Amino acid sequence: MEFMNSYKRFDNLCRDMNRIGITGYIEDMKIAANGAYYVHGWKEELSPTETIPPYT
């Protein structure tokens, strides 16, 4: 249950930023060409998130 509460809070935060939610956040990560240059572990963090279903 704690995971779902955290997921919902993060989805709401992302929705405030991009009006899409976590799905939009992941899409933004995919198109950020220089993310891996600036953030250590960028690709490792992105890979598992691609399997997270959108919250509805």
Domain boundaries, the chain: 2-49
> Across the 56 residues of the chain, what is the mean pLDDT of every consecutive 10-residue run?
90 92 86 86 76 59
- At residue 6, what is the residue type? S
Quote the pLDDT of residue 43: 82
CA distance 14 to 20: 7
Quote the pLDDT of residue 41: 86
Quote the pLDDT of residue 55: 56
Quote the pLDDT of residue 54: 61
Report how far apart, in Å, the C-alpha atoms of 47 and of each of 7, 13, 15, 26, 30 are. 17, 21, 21, 10, 10
CA neighbor of 26 nearest in space, from 6, 47, 4, 2: 47
Do the beta carbons of residue 52 and residue 28 sit within 8 Å?
no
- What does pTM read for this prediction? 0.61
